Amino acid sequence: MIDFKLKDDFIELNKLLKYLQLCESGAVANMCISDGMVKLNNTVDTRKRAKLRDGDVVEFEDTVIKITKD
């Protein structure tokens, strides 16, 4: 599990995948999200720019990311 600490109020889903280098580019991240490969809080979410906030949990492939706020 990865603990990701927010610097602002939220981060968009596609930007998170790119920032953590789980996808090689924003375009690849968008495709993975559109193809239903990402879960947000145990539900498949196809919103590329879903705003992730404190307490959200993202699952992508074998990686689980918990969003926290400082």
What is the reported pLDDT for 10?
Answer: 97
Q: Which CATH number belongs to the domain containing residue 31 in this structure?
A: 3.10.290.10
pLDDT value, residue 20: 98
Report if pTM > 0.85.
yes
Total tally of structural domains belonging to the chain: 1
- Domain of residue 49 covers 2-69
Q: What is the pLDDT of residues 6-64, one digit of tens each?
A: 999 999 999 999 999 999 999 999 999 999 999 999 999 999 999 999 999 999 999 99
User: In this structure, are residues 66 and 2 in contact, taking their beta carbons and an 8 Å threshold?
Assistant: yes
Tell me the pLDDT band of 70, cut-offs 50, 70 and 90. Answer: confident
